[in-house]
Amino acid sequence: GPSFLEHIAAFVLMGVIPFQSLMRGQIFEVEEPLTTQEKFSIYKANSFSQWFISAILVGIWFLSGKNFYDLGFRWPQVEDPMAVWLLSGTFLMAYLFDAWWQLRNKAARIKQVKEWSKYTPFLPTTGKQMAGFLMVVITAAICEEILFRGFLIHYLFQLLDHSLTSTFIAVLLPSIIFASSHMYQGWQAVAKIAILATVFSTLLILTGSLIIPIILHFLVNLFSGLLGVFFWEKAMKESTGMQDFPQ
């Protein structure tokens, strides 16, 4: 079963991090657009904290004498390639459709940018900011998959058996927790992230590996940043005639 340190790590992931998300939302409630330097500070702090927590968790895993394969550090073991391709492809198409729907015309773009301004003002709006945001893209793809998929799912399997019901719990519970850790992005985003997390968790169960979830997570975050670069400033100017963002 789980070691004492694993119980502590699970408590932090399931309780402390979602609570911090609420506090982060208050920090992001800003009146003026963030400067490039302010965004870079957020990117660095976010990335450092995730790598730090992930390093501690991997250390706990090592000290507990656990197999790193169980954490998802291996090549995908695919018994049903069709299911993996179908799930991955359907997810990507649904994500792209959702992005298109949010930005399909001027009115939709203006509405979406207001949401971005309220909930995710740290998104990049220039090429320079996007270069800095890549740090977040890579970090989140690797660290969040280790924490919320690799560790939490295996942790729950240690507490439960491997029945269908237990598998359902092991997939759904980490997905809800992961989504709740993004509460600062608003409830609509939380619902979408819960679906995303469920897909990633299912892919981990199907393949025994974090590689495909990490790749998909990377693509989602990368695309989110690029949407900010290409559409945010354009939509803000369409709605208000505002000048360039602060540098």
Residue 246 lies inside a defined structural domain of this protein: no
Average pLDDT, the chain: 89
Angle subtended at Cα 218 by Cα 217 and Cα 221, rounded to the nearest 5 degrees: 85
Task: Give percent of the chain above pLDDT 90.
Answer: 65
- Domain assignment present for 83: no
Binned at pLDDT 50, 70 and 90, residue 207 comes out as very high
State which residues form the domain around 168: 4-66+99-240
In a domain, 17, yes or no: yes
Q: How far apart are CA 17 and CA 23, in angstroms?
A: 10
Rounded to an integer, the average pLDDT of 179-202 is 93
Compute the C-alpha angle 90/83/196, nearest 5°.
45
Which one-letter amino acid corresponds to residue 108? A
Q: Is residue 111 classed exposed, middle or buried when 0-12, 13-18 and 19+ CB atoms within 10 A define those classes? A: middle
pLDDT of residue 28: 56
Which alpha helices (DSSP H) does 103-160 contain, by range? 106-119, 127-139, 152-159
**Is 212 inside a domain boundary?**
yes
pTM of the model: 0.90
pLDDT in tens, 51-67: 999 999 999 999 988 88
Q: Is the dihedral of CA 106, 112, 114, 117 positive or negative?
A: negative
Instruction: Specify if 81 maps to a domain.
Output: no
Looking at residues 62-81, what average pLDDT do you find? 91
| 170 HSE (CA, 13 A, CB side) | 24
Distance of CA 121 to the CA centre of its chain: 16
137 within a domain of the structure (yes/no): yes
In the chain, the number of structural domains is 1
Of 130, 117, 118, 108, nearest to 226 by C-alpha is: 130
Over residues 172-178, the mean pLDDT reads 94
Asked whether residue 74 is assigned to any structural domain, the reply reads: no
Name which of 11-20, 34-43, 132-141, 159-168 the model is least confident about.
11-20
